[in-house]
């Protein structure tokens, strides 16, 4: 079955740039979506279709996907960015939704 | 603004049933597909089921197929998840989510509720 791989944790100082990766076989052929989730709260869609932002999501948050690795980039990191971030795709081959294991972003 | 509110969770014995409800507001419910997902510490986020905007199409994860049923009542702006033959591994926080695309569903979840906890235990 299809697997999305994320690093368990990323740490960054305030004001710096955080990059969270999501890897998968033949990821280049799939649309990648990213969600932010704080403890006890509902997930929030922050990037869809690799690099599009829903309304209300700041430009500091962006997505890219060169090759088989998707990257969520958060620039000028703030305390409020501390959360779990997970990636997601639709695997058409097996007709299923696949989520990455999630990455905890810690703001030092 | 969009609001999604789940209810109906609780503690239930293995083999028993439970029905979850999801009431939505702030958007035209009648033109969007709706999903249920769940999250447990051991398994992460898992998609469970989807129902099309008009209710004629449904699709389930293999792990719940034949046991869970998703339905919707447009007059009540409500989505339901009927869960039968519950197993311990169904223990999770269950989320209701709106699909981003109107008149279709593309498995992009753009509005979520806070979730409701289901615990399957004897």
Query: Is the confidence at residue A14, as pLDDT, over 80?
Result: yes
Residue A30 CB partners (closer than 8 Å, separation 6+) = A24, A89, A90, A91, A92
A93 or A53, higher pLDDT:
A53
Q: Encoding tokens for residue A106? A: 């810690």
What is the C-alpha radius of gyration for chain A, rounded to an integer number of angstroms? 13
Question: Does residue B60 sit at the A interface (CB-CB below 8 Å)?
Answer: no
Q: What is the pLDDT of residue A75?
A: 98
Q: Give the Cβ contact number of residue B64 at 10 Å.
A: 23
Q: Which residues of chain B have pLDDT under 70?
A: none
Mean pLDDT of A1-26: 96
Question: Does residue B61 sit at the A interface (CB-CB below 8 Å)?
Answer: yes
Count of CB contacts below 8 A, A vs B? 49
Beta-bridge mates of residue B73: B78
Q: What is the pLDDT of residue A93?
A: 87
Q: What is the pLDDT of residue A67?
A: 84
Residue A104 CB partners (closer than 8 Å, separation 6+) = A8, A9, A10, A83, A84
Q: Give the Cβ contact number of residue B14 at 10 Å.
A: 13
For A33-92, the pLDDT digits (tens) are: 999 999 989 999 999 999 999 999 999 999 999 888 999 999 999 999 999 999 999 998
Residue with tokens 């076989």: A25
């Amino acid at each position: 079955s299809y697997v999305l791989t994320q690093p368990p944790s990323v740490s960054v100082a305030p004001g710096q740039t955080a990059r969270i990766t999501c890897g998968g076989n033949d990821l280049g052929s799939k649309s990648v979506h990213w969600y932010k989730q704080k403890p006890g709260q509902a997930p929030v869609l922050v990037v869809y279709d690799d690099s599009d932002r829903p309304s209300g999501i700041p430009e500091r948050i962006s997505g890219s996907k060169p090759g088989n690795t998707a990257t969520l980039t958060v620039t000028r990191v703030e305390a409020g960015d501390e959360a779990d971030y997970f990636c997601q795709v639709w695997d058409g081959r097996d007709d299923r939704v696949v989520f990455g294991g999630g990455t905890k972003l810690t703001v030092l | 603004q969009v609001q999604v509110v789940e209810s109906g969770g609780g503690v239930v014995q293995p083999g028993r049933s439970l029905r979850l409800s999801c009431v939505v507001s702030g958007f035209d419910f009648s033109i969007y597909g709706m999903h249920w997902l769940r999250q447990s510490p051991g398994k992460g986020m898992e998609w469970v089921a989807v129902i099309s905007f008009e209710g004629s199409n449904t699709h389930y994860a293999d792990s719940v197929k034949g046991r869970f049923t998703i339905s919707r009542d447009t007059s009540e702006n409500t989505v339901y998840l009927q869960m039968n033959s519950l197993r311990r591994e169904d223990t999770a926080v269950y989320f209701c989510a709106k699909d981003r695309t109107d008149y279709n569903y593309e498995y992009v979840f753009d509005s979520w509720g806070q979730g409701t906890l289901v615990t399957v235990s004897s």
